[in-house]
Every structure is written in C-alpha cells, then in structure tokens.
C-alpha cells in the first residue's frame, strides 16, 4: 500500500514537536517531507537569549540534527521557503521551484516579529530578535558598536537587553508603558524588576513612544513623541510577534489574526493542519512553548488517526528568569472590581507576591524575588481549589500550609552546583542543569524521567521547576489543566472514576475497553489505581485483581530492599497480651527472624522474613489470634492510643477502648493511600492524634475529631473537623470521613493532600451540614466492610488462596 504523504511547512519547534509525537505513536504511517525557510536544522528558539549572552553556543541549542531526519526517513529541505500552496493539486511549491505533493499538510510557519512602521525603520542597524541570524548580527555588532536601544520592555526585549549588556554594550530599553512586562506584571512588580535591572547597568526610558529612527546611512539615534532623543548604533525591535499567515491566507484558508483551527488543529480544509504560533484557536493565539507542545500532541494524535484527543486551549503561566530575578506570572494578575488581592511585600528581601482572588479561588498571581510557590499557586488556580481555609497562610507558601516542604530554600539561582535539590534520590543542582541542557529537556516530566529529581516524594517540585525555568531562560512547558491518570489514557482520575460509577464498570478490562486505553493491559501506574477504584466503588461485584496490586498488597507483607519481607500483626489499639507476645517471640525464634522492632504505630515488626516462610509464619501467629496488621497496604494501618482515663491521672476519656472500637470497625478497608488513626485520652495528646489522617482527642465534654494530618516528608497538622460527645458519634464520623476519602480522593492521594485540594469547608459541608449525607456515607462504609473484613493472612496460611505466590516454580540444583 502506498504510504500517505505528510508535508510540514516550517522547521521550527512546534512543527517538529508534532512530528516527534507522531513518530512515537505511528512511526511508519507517513512519508514525511519538511520545508524550512532557515538554513538550519530545528533549534530551541527559547534558548536564543543564552546564546546572545554567551552562556551557550548555537550547537548547544540544536534540537534535531540532520541525523535525526535521516534516521526517521524524513526528507528535509533547509533554506527553502514555501511560496505557495495549491490545495486543488495538493502540493506545495518552494521559491526555487521545488514541489512536493501531500495527502495531509501541516502548517507551522510560526510568527514574525512586529516592526514599528516608523520613519527610519528600514535603516541598516535596525534589527529584530527572533532567530539565530538576529543573534549573530547582535553578537558581531557588540564587538564594534557601543550604544544599543532595545524597543520593547517585554520578556523578549529584556532578554535581548540582558544579553547585549553582558556582551559589553551600553543598553537602553524603551517601553511604551510605564511598567515593564506589563502583559505579565503589575506596577509594583514591574518597578521592582526595573530597579533590579538598573542595578545591573541597564537604562530605561519608560512611557516613551518611538516617533522616528534617526540616521542617514545607518542608525544614529531614536526620537520619541515627547521630544526626547537618544543615541543608538543599533536598534533592536522587540515589540511583539504576529502570526505568520500570509501563505495560508493566499491558499484561501480562513484566517483572522492567525490561521483558524478547531480542537483537532485542523484548518477549514480538513487535510490541512496547523500548529504553533501561526494558529488561532478559540479566539486566542499563543507565543509560549507550553501550549505549542500541547497542540503538537493533539495534532499528532489526530494525524495518527487515534483521534480522541482534543486541544481545548491552554491556561498559561510564565515563570521566567531575567538576569537573576525570578519572576512568575499567571492568569489575571491585575484584577477588577469583583476581585480582591492578597499582597506580601518585603523590600529588604526583594520579594513581592500578589494573588488575585475571586469567590475564594485564585484567578491570577504575580511574584517576584521568591517564585518557588508559583507552580503551587498555578495548580490551585487550574484546579479551581477553594482557598478560604488556607488564605491566612496562603501567601507564605506551601511550606506554611502543609505538605511539600523544601527546607525553606526558595531561590535556586543562588544555590551552588553541588546543592542537593532532591533529597529522596540524591540529585544535585548541577545534575539537573546538565540534563536539561545535554538531553534537551523541556518539562518537569522530562526532568523526572532523566534525573529522578522530584519523582519520589515531590517536595522539591517547586525547586526543580525553578531550575527548569532558569535554565531554559524563557518559558517552559507547564502541566495541562487536569492531568491524565497515566500515559495509557487521556482521562483524569476523576473522569475514570466517574465512568466506573456511572457506567457500572466492574472490571479493569471493562474500564480499559470502554475508555479506549492506549496500552492493551495498562501499566504499573494505572492498574493499581483502577483496581482500587473498582473494589471501592463496587465492593460486592468487582473482583480484586491481585496482579494489578503492588507486591506488598499481593504478598500481604512489606518488601524490603534485600527481597525479604516484614510482618506486622495487628494489635488492636496498640494493646497486646502476654500470650500474643509469646506467640510473636516463638515465631521470631522458630523462623530465625533477624530483627524484631517496635513500629511508630504501636505494633511489633518482624523484619527479614523470607517470602516462602510467610504462610507458615502467619499460621503460627494466627493460632494466637493474631491477624494481618495491613502495615503493607494502602489501607487502614493502625489506631494508636494512649492509656487514657483507665489509668492515666490526666485522662478524661477511655481512649484505649475508643481506639480499639475504631480499629475493629475500620480494619481491612482499602483506601486511596495509607491511613493512620490515633486516639488521645486528653488534650495533652500523647497519641499524637493531630498528625494522623483521622485523630481523636478527648476533652472533658467529649471528643474532638481532627482530620488530614500526617508526619512524613512535611508534617501537616490536622484541621479540627468537629466536636462530638459520644463514642457512637466518633465511629459514625470516622466511618463517614473514611468513606468520603475512599469515594472522592484520587489514588495515592493522602488525606492531607486531598483536604488541601478540596478544602476543609467542603469536608464540613459533606460531613456536618447534612446528617443524611453523613449517615449515607457511613452506611456505605459499613456495607463495604462486610466484604473487606476477611483476614488475608488466614486465607493464605490455611485457605490456600494465591498459593503460587509463595512457592518457587522450580528448584534447579
């Protein structure tokens, strides 16, 4: 069969990214030809600034060398500008007459810099800042010329100014507005940015409208409307970009500001696609790299005829680095009559943060000096999180709200190369920077895959994003609005779960078939999540798929780094008996258990048990009445207690019995992540209930119920949910809370993260305001417990369940 022909006009980042995505999913589908007007391969345009400033060379920023095109059988015509598209003949024609036929055409012609049509704009010495040719011109100018005027105080202009300053020129930035980067910054931030740049020797003329560029044979100066004049040997115009649509327009494709495309990036001619800066999608055009990459992905998906992905527009954040000043901006940062602002301003530290709030939701943010929380604010903004419960701490950053601490470090720019960024995986700053440059990474996901930084606990994500932004100079790729569950699907956790519930899907196979999973049997990320969603939604119907569970939950013990397992029997409320202790001691001796230790949750841990020994160990423990402690699962782990009123002279309630009752009710339940509970007998809180997922603290008149705490990477103290008087109420609220968590949190989301995402107010609304709602949750919890409260150890020790798990297939001498 003849391969279809795909022609790409434009050898830039957006078009080539689309080809890369296409080759990933359908490598053999098309016969591909690329036309580029520039005489180079594809290079990273957002790294032109570091080339200008001398920090990088052109070779450093090449993304795809010629070998890449050859390897994928792509015909590349460099330096050949396409001058016409003949849609009837389905061909494109280059200036030199080269013609290529297409079955599908992809237009990625990018944009052109805007040139102010003032008198003198055609004089030699007036240039733009757009491609490597401009950069070369500037670099050679810097060797012989002295005064440069940069027209435009936006991102591009400031980067050009910075680069030329570092090349030793005398730089003046001219800006029409009185605020620098006024598309991204408010007046205060703009002023701070200006002061910071002035201290680096760049001069500014603000509120200045260019009237004329003066000069006879070449540029000599610039005159402004208000009569001011300044000397110039070189003028760089950086006043914006305009989608390059001439070719498309001439071919009769419908254009407004850009080439109009639909959600699958098709133009009005369905054979013709367009991506990148040249397109207009839902009335918007984009000039940052993140949306271009999102478009590329969708377009490739459609070209590969797997057309279920849609591009729905991008929400933008700019996190940029201009000469050592961290700047972050997202959304509506000015606000209007209907919004309010939270502002933190610290002149001594050079820090300014402003959040624009409307209806308790973040609508925009602008930050300067300390941008480490930018990605967090952006996430809250994207998810539309209700911030009313954290607004008193919001401006101080995520470290002061709860999770994801970064040790107080906020500015990566000043860190030494050897500073450890990711403590989990031991990754230092220079390793991340080297990977970004050497391996040409653009996104947080890329950095995670290549360096492992931020891939474990995620608390250094803000720092890694900062390094990414600083290294890439301009913008970088931010996460899409709602993340897909994993790479096997485009559906988010919440969408998958909704489908399971509403379409009554009861098996992993059914979910994957109905939602058109891209990998036939999923991956190690989605299968455990799906299994959890199924058994929590349909406790009676769904079959637990052990092969989709992480080993700990399959073997019902905790795998250790040497491949042995740890065994933790349940001790109800942390209370044990001599007989139980004797049984544990006997087991430890009989099986030569290398280590016996106390856990943090008032249990005893037998460490170093071989897998084959597990059923026998469990059998022995079972004889003394000991059952699985679920210390290995995303499940209810422990209920920790203090001695309480029975013994303690301060105790006001019987916390031990309360804890036992809670544990008897909850054990065996599978949850999105591990759940720890504690009950303290008085406000001295010896059971540390206020750093548990569900914490109960006795007071004289009853029980305080606390939710959403955890120890771990970043301690999060619980929020007080409610106060009740009876132990029956404690059980009801506890069960209802757990069920709400089971039904609505995403897989692997601790209660702390979940509460921060949905807000304590929501929790109160679901659990307190409507008693029927609470009772319904509680009833569903008890219903599901009927199926869950089966001791998995007994099943395996005596019932022969999953016997193959614990026996080698064969012993070969």
Partner 1 sequence: MNDWIEIGTVEDIPRQGARVIRTAAGDIAVFRTAEDEVFALRDRCPHKGGQLSQGIVYGKKVACPLHNWSIHLDSGEAVAPDKGCAASFPVKVVDGQIYIALPAAGARFASVS
User: Which of 122, 144, 416, 811 touches partner 1 by CB under 8 A?
Assistant: 811
Helix (H, G, I), strand (E, B) or coil at 721: strand
C-beta of 40 vs 550, nearer to partner 1: 550
Is residue 365 within 8 A of residue 381, CB to CB? The reply is yes
Cβ at position 644, least distance to partner 1 in Å? 39
In the structure encoding, which two tokens stand for residue 419, read together?
A: 């500073």
As given in the structure block, the two tokens for residue 416 are 């030494």
What Rg, from alpha-carbon coordinates, does the chain have?
31
**Assigned token pair, 512:** 């994957």
Nearest to residue 674, comparing CAs of 805, 550, 499, 501? 550
Judge contact between 639 and 679, C-beta under 8 A: yes
Q: What is the DSSP letter of 703?
A: E
- The answer to whether the beta carbons of residues 499 and 511 sit under 8 Å apart is yes
Give the contact letters, 776-805, x = binds to partner 1 (CB under 8 A), - = no.
----------------------------x-
Half-sphere exposure of 237 (CA within 13 A, CB side): 25
Residue 450 binding partner 1, by CB under 8 A: yes
Q: Strand 229-231 vs strand 272-274: parallel, antiparallel, or unpaired?
A: unpaired
Min dist. Cβ of residue 394 to partner 1 (A): 33
Minimum distance from residue 521 beta carbon to partner 1 (Å): 4
**Total binding residues toward partner 1, as defined by CB under 8 A:** 29
Q: Name which position in 547, 649, 700, 800 contacts partner 1 (CB under 8 A).
A: 547
CB of 749 to partner 1, least distance (A): 18
Q: How far is the CB of 675 from partner 1 (least distance, A)?
A: 22
Whether the CB-CB separation of 521 and 497 falls below 8 Å is answered with: no
- Answer for the pair 208, 175: CB distance below 8 angstroms, yes or no: yes
Q: Which is nearer to partner 1, 549 or 692 (CB)?
A: 549
Query: Please, what is the Cα angle at 213 between 208 and 214, to 5 degrees?
Result: 120
Site residues for partner 1, 92-111, by CB under 8 A, read: none
Q: How far is the CB of 445 from partner 1 (least distance, A)?
A: 11
Binding segment toward partner 1, per CB under 8 A, in 130-138, 366-374, 552-560, 755-763: 552-560
Q: Output phi, psi for 788, to 5 deg.
A: -90, -25
Cβ 811 to partner 1 shortest distance, Å: 5
**∠ Cα 2 5 7 (to 5°):** 170
- Minimum CB distance to partner 1 smaller for 176 or for 551: 551
Q: Which is nearer to partner 1, 449 or 790 (CB)?
A: 449
Shortest Cβ 564–partner 1 spacing (Å): 10
| Identified binder of partner 1 from the candidate list 433, 551, 715, 801, rule CB under 8 A | 551
Structural contact between residues 620 and 590, judged by C-beta atoms closer than 8 angstroms:
yes
Q: Which of 117, 520, 578, 800 binds partner 1 (CB under 8 A)?
A: 520
518 binds partner 1 (CB under 8 A): no
Using the minimum distance from each CB to partner 1, give the nearer residue, 741 or 747: 747
Q: List C-alpha distances in Å: 679 to 372, 630, 699.
A: 36, 19, 11
Q: Enumerate residues 748-767 that contact partner 1 by CB under 8 A.
A: none
CA atoms within 13 A on the CB side of 790: 13
Give the largest Cα separation in the chain, rounded. Answer: 102
d(CA 197, CA 178): 15
Residue 812 beta carbon to partner 1: minimum distance, rounded to whole angstroms: 5
Angle CA 584–590–593, to nearest 5? 70
**Which of 561, 649, 700, 800 touches partner 1 by CB under 8 A?**
561
**Minimal distance, residue 293 CB to partner 1, in Å:** 18
Least distance from partner 1 to the Cβ atom of residue 43, Å = 22
Please choose, out of 142-150, 204-212, 491-499, 518-526, the segment that lies near partner 1 by the rule CB under 8 A. 518-526
Q: How far is the CB of 424 from partner 1 (least distance, A)?
A: 10
User: Is 550 near partner 1 (CB under 8 A)?
Assistant: yes
Coil, strand, or helix at residue 493? helix
Contact residue for partner 1 among 523, 596, 616, 717 (CB under 8 A): 523
Name the minimum Å distance from CB 19 to partner 1. 19
d(CA 659, CA 644): 10
Please say whether the beta carbons of 185 and 368 come within 8 A. Answer: yes
CA 149 to chain centre: 39
| 103 closest CA partner among 25, 27, 14, 6 | 6
- Residue 521 or residue 728: which is nearer to partner 1 going by CB? 521
Minimum Å gap between C-beta 173 and partner 1 is 40
Whichever of 494 and 521 has its CB closer to partner 1, that residue is 521
Which residues are CB-neighbours of 112 under 8 A, at least 6 positions away?
A: 130, 241, 242, 244
Which range of residues in 74-82, 319-327, 551-559, 667-675 is near partner 1 by CB under 8 A?
Answer: 551-559
> Any contact of residue 528 with partner 1 (CB under 8 A)?
yes
Burial of 445 (0-12, 13-18, 19+ CB in 10 A): middle
| Residue 527 is a binding residue for partner 1 (CB under 8 A) | yes
Interface stretch with partner 1, choices 49-57, 82-90, 555-563, 713-721 (CB under 8 A): 555-563
The nearer residue to partner 1, 552 or 576, going by C-beta atoms, is 552
Contact residue for partner 1 among 42, 548, 680, 685 (CB under 8 A)? 548
Return the range that interacts with partner 1 (CB under 8 A); candidates 62-70, 123-131, 544-552, 717-725: 544-552
d(CA 263, CA 474): 26
CB 17, CB 291: distance < 8 Å:
no
Question: For partner 1, which residue of 174, 322, 485, 555 counts as binding (CB under 8 A)?
Answer: 555
118, 75 contact by CB (below 8 A): no
* Pairing of β 42-43 and β 62-64: antiparallel
Choose the binding region for partner 1 from 264-272, 519-527, 750-758, 792-800 (rule: CB under 8 A).
519-527
Query: At closest approach, how far in Å is the CB of 554 from partner 1?
Result: 8
* Angle at 149 (CA atoms; ends 148, 150), nearest 5 degrees: 115
Give dist(CA 256, CA 254) in Å, integer: 7
* 426 belongs to the binding site for partner 1 (CB under 8 A): no
Residues in a beta bridge with 607: 566, 595
- Which part of the chain contacts partner 1 (CB under 8 A), choosing from 350-358, 462-470, 513-521, 572-580? 513-521
Identified binder of partner 1 from the candidate list 140, 519, 577, 701, rule CB under 8 A:
519
- For partner 1, the closer CB: 174 or 614: 614
Query: Pairing state of beta strands 719-724 and 702-707?
Result: antiparallel
Residue 522 within binding range of partner 1, rule CB under 8 A: yes
The reply on whether position 516 binds partner 1 by CB under 8 A is no
Q: Is 487 a residue that touches partner 1 (CB under 8 A)? A: no
Among 413, 449, 581, 790, binds partner 1 (CB under 8 A): 449
Q: State how far the Cα of 250 lies from the Cα of 245, in Å rounded to an integer.
A: 9
Instruction: Give the pair of three-digit tokens for residue 799.
Output: 């019932």
| Segment interacting with partner 1 (CB under 8 A) among 74-82, 243-251, 524-532, 586-594 | 524-532
CB 308 within 8 A of CB 29: no
State which residue, 67 or 812, has the beta carbon closest to partner 1. Answer: 812
**Interface with partner 1 (CB under 8 A), residue from 59, 524, 598, 772:** 524
The number of beta carbons lying within 10 Å of the beta carbon of residue 602 is 19
Walk across the sheet containing 75-77 and list its strands: 75-77, 30-35, 4-9, 104-107, 272-274
Chain residues in the site for partner 1 (CB under 8 A): 439, 449-450, 519-524, 527-528, 546-552, 555, 559, 561, 563, 804, 808-813
């Amino acid at each position: 069969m003849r391969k279809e022909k795909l022609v790409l006009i434009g050898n830039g980042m957006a078009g080539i990214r689309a080809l890369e995505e296409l080759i990933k999913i359908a490598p053999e589908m098309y016969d591909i030809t690329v036309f580029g007007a520039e005489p180079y391969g594809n290079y990273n345009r957002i790294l032109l600034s570091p080339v200008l400033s001398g920090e990088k060379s052109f070779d450093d920023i090449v993304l795809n060398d010629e070998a890449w095109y050859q390897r994928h059988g792509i015909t590349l015509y460099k330096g050949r500008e396409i001058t016409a598209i003949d849609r009837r003949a389905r061909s494109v024609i280059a200036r030199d007459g080269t013609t290529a036929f297409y079955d599908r055409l992809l237009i990625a012609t990018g944009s052109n810099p805007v040139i102010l049509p003032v008198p003198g704009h055609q004089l030699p010495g007036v240039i733009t800042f757009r491609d490597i040719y401009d950069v070369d011109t500037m670099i050679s100018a810097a060797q012989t010329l002295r005064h440069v005027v940069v027209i435009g105080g936006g991102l591009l202009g400031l980067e050009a100014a910075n680069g030329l300053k570092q090349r030793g020129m005398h730089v003046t930035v001219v800006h029409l507005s009185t605020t620098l980067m006024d598309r991204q910054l408010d007046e205060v931030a703009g002023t701070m940015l200006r002061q910071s740049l002035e201290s680096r020797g760049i001069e500014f003329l603000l509120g200045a409208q260019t009237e004329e560029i003066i000069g006879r044979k070449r540029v000599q100066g610039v005159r402004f409307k208000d009569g001011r004049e300044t000397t110039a040997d070189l003028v760089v115009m950086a006043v914006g970009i305009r989608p390059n649509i001439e070719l498309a327009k001439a071919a009769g494709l419908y254009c407004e500001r850009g080439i109009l495309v639909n959600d699958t990036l098709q133009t009005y001619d369905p054979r013709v696609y367009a991506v990148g800066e040249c397109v207009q999608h839902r009335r918007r055009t984009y000039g940052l790299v993140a949306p271009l990459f999102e478009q590329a992905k969708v377009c490739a998906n459609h070209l590969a005829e797997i057309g279920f992905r849609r591009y729905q527009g991008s929400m933008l954040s700019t996190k940029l680095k201009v000469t050592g000043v961290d700047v972050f901006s997202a959304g509506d940062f000015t606000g209007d009559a209907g919004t309010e602002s939270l502002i933190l301003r610290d002149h001594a530290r050079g820090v300014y943060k402003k959040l624009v709030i409307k209806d308790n939701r973040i609508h925009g943010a602008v930050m300067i000096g300390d941008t480490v929380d930018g990605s967090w604010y952006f996430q809250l903004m994207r998810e539309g999180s209700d911030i009313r419960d954290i607004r008193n701490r919001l401006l101080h950053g995520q470290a002061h709200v709860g999770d994801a601490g970064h040790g107080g470090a906020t500015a990566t720019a000043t860190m030494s190369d050897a500073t450890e960024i990711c403590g989990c995986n031991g990754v230092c700053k220079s390793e991340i920077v080297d990977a970004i440059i050497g391996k040409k990474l653009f996104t947080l996901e890329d950095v995670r895959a290549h360096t492992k930084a931020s891939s474990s606990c995620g608390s250094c994500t803000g720092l890694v994003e900062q390094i990414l932004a600083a290294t890439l100079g301009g913008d970088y790729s931010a996460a899409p609005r709602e993340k897909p569950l994993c790479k096997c699907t485009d559906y988010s956790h919440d969408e998958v779960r909704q489908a399971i519930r509403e379409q009554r899907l009861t098996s992993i196979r059914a979910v994957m078939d109905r939602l058109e999973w891209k990998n036939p049997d999923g991956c190690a990320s989605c299968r455990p999540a799906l299994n959890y969603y199924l058994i929590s939604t349909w406790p009676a119907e769904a079959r637990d798929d052990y092969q989709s569970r992480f080993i700990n939950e399959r073997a019902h013990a905790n795998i250790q780094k040497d491949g042995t397992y740890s065994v933790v029997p349940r001790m109800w409320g942390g209370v044990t008996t001599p007989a139980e202790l004797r049984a544990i001691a006997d087991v430890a001796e009989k099986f030569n258990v290398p280590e016996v230790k106390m856990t943090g949750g008032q249990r005893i841990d037998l460490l170093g048990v071989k897998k084959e020994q597990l059923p026998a160990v469990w059998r022995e423990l079972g004889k003394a009445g000991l059952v699985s402690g679920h210390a290995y699962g995303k499940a209810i782990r422990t209920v920790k207690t203090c001695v309480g009123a029975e013994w303690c002279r301060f105790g006001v309630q019987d916390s031990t019995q309360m804890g036992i009752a809670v544990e008897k009710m909850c054990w065996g339940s599978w949850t999105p992540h591990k759940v720890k509970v504690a009950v303290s007998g008085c406000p001295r809180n010896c059971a540390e209930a206020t750093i548990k997922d569900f914490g109960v603290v006795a007071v004289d008149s009853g029980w305080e119920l606390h939710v959403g705490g955890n120890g771990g990477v970043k301690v999060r103290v619980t929020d007080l949910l409610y106060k009740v008087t009876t132990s029956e109420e404690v059980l009801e609220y506890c069960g209802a809370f757990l069920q709400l968590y089971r039904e609505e949190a995403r897989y692997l989301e601790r209660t702390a993260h979940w509460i921060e995402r949905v807000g304590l107010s929501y929790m109160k609304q679901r659990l307190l305001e409507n008693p029927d709602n609470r009772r319904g949750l509680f009833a569903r919890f008890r219903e599901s417990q009927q199926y869950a409260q089966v001791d998995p150890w007994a099943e395996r020790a005596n019932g022969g369940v999953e016997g193959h798990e614990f026996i080698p297939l064969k012993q070969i001498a």
